[in-house]
């Protein structure tokens, strides 16, 4: 089942790339495995998945040692400063950096571990009150400040679009994030590249790909609905 789902999602990504005149190799599918048991992650891995997304530090730390070493782990959920030290050096990228204080904590830990941490700045493009993320207005200044911190490499921007019935309703937000990345790239800020746009989830990833997503984060479309009551890691 997971193998079929993965194939379907990949095919839809390819179709979206064809429509947009993009190369499918420029889009990475992140399998969002939060709340899902190891058996399902393993199934996805065996079907070729290598990029996995999780949104809770503890769950990440539980799963990392149980999966093969070539998995690239993406931290996509809200991150508290006091948990930064547990994941630096273990995850491939942190998608959810939305404040200078959080970035400073990541920087401090990166320097301590003599490593460099790839991050994306999370932008609340739609200005939803319930969402984390920097506002559109403050993003450029945030990029400037974070870019001066040692041990951090800004790779691009991330957004979580509103929950909508019709994916087309989110097109303007994806387009806006892309425009922001183009504007920031033009400033040629040291330590900053805007190669990565992390946008699009199960409901709207094809639209996000059409609008330039480099990473799409798909959970339900690969692993099925989440059950938050049972949602535990089965070992
Ligand atoms: C859960 C989650 C996803 C995946 O959501 P689906 O709708 O299940 O594809 C993507 N991004 C973030 C940040 C998430 O927390």
Q: Quote the distance between the C-alpha of residue 155 and its chain's center.
A: 11
5 pLDDT above the threshold of 90: yes
For residues 86-108, average pLDDT: 98
Phi, psi of 84 (to 5 degrees): -55, -40
pLDDT at site 51: 99
Give the C-alpha separation, 51 to 30, whole Å: 5
217 touches ligand 1 (CB under 6 Å): yes
Mean pLDDT of 200-224: 98
Q: Is 66 helix (H, G, I), strand (E, B) or coil?
A: helix
- Helix, strand, or coil here: 178? helix
Q: What is the DSSP letter of 12?
A: H
Mean per-residue pLDDT, 148-173: 97
Strand partners, 153: 118
pLDDT score at 228: 75
Mutate to test the pocket of ligand 1, among 12, 199, 219, 221 (most ligand atoms within 8 A of CB): 219
* Model pLDDT for residues 56-76, shown as the tens digit of each residue: 999 999 999 999 999 999 999
Reduced to 3 states, what is the DSSP secondary structure of residue 6?
Answer: helix
- For residue 234, pLDDT beyond 90: no
What is the rounded average pLDDT of the residues 105-130?
97
On whether the CB atoms of residues 31 and 223 are closer than 8 A, the answer is yes
Averaged pLDDT, 143-160: 98
Question: Once rounded to an integer, what is the mean pLDDT over residues 107-116?
Answer: 98
For residue 231, pLDDT beyond 90: no
Q: Is the CB of 218 under 6 A from ligand 1?
A: yes
Confidence at residue 227, expressed as pLDDT on a 0 to 100 scale: 84
Q: d(Cα 77, Cα 84) in Å, to the nearest integer? A: 12
Return the structure tokens found at 190: 């040291």
Contact (Cβ atoms closer than 8 angstroms) between residue 64 and residue 42: no
160 Cα: distance to centroid of ligand 1 (angstroms)? 8
Per the DSSP assignment, residues forming a β-bridge with 58 are none
19, 216, 232, 226: CA torsion to nearest 10: -40
Q: Using alpha carbons only, what angle is made at residue 234 by residues 228 and 235, rounded to the nearest 5 degrees?
A: 155
List 13's β-bridge partners, or say none.
none
Number of the ligand 1 atom closest to the C-alpha atom of 201? 9
Contact 200 CB / ligand 1 (< 6 Å): no
Residue 28: predicted pLDDT: 98
pLDDT number for residue 229:
62
Ligand 1 site, residue 103, Cβ cutoff 6 A: no
Q: Residues of the chain with pLDDT > 70: what percent?
A: 97
Q: Is the CB of 201 under 6 A from ligand 1?
A: yes
CB of 55 sitting under 6 A from ligand 1? yes
């Amino acid at each position: 089942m997971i193998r079929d789902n993965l194939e379907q999602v990949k095919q839809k990504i390819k179709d979206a790339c064809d429509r947009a005149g993009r190369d499918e190799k420029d889009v990475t599918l992140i399998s969002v495995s939060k709340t899902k048991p190891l058996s399902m992650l393993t199934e996805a891995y065996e079907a070729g998945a290598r990029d996995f997304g999780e949104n809770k530090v503890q769950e990440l730390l539980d799963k990392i040692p149980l999966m093969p070493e070539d998995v690239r782990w993406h931290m996509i959920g809200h991150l508290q400063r006091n948990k930064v030290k547990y994941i630096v050096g273990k995850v491939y990228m942190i998608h959810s950096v939305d404040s200078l204080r959080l970035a400073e904590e990541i920087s401090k830990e990166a320097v301590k571990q003599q490593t460099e941490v790839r991050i994306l700045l999370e932008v609340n493009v739609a200005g939803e009150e319930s969402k984390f993320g920097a506002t559109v207005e403050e993003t450029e200044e945030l990029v400037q400040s974070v870019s001066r911190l040692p041990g951090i490499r800004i790779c691009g921007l991330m957004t979580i679009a509103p929950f909508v019935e019709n994916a087309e309703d989110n097109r303007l937000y994806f387009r806006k994030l892309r425009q922001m990345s183009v504007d920031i790239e033009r400033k040629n800020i040291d330590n900053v590249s805007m190669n990565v746009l992390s946008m699009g989830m199960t409901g709207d990833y094809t639209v996000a790909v059409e609008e330039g997503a480099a990473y799409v984060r798909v959970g339900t479309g690969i692993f099925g609905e989440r059950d938050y009551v049972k949602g535990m890691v089965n070992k």
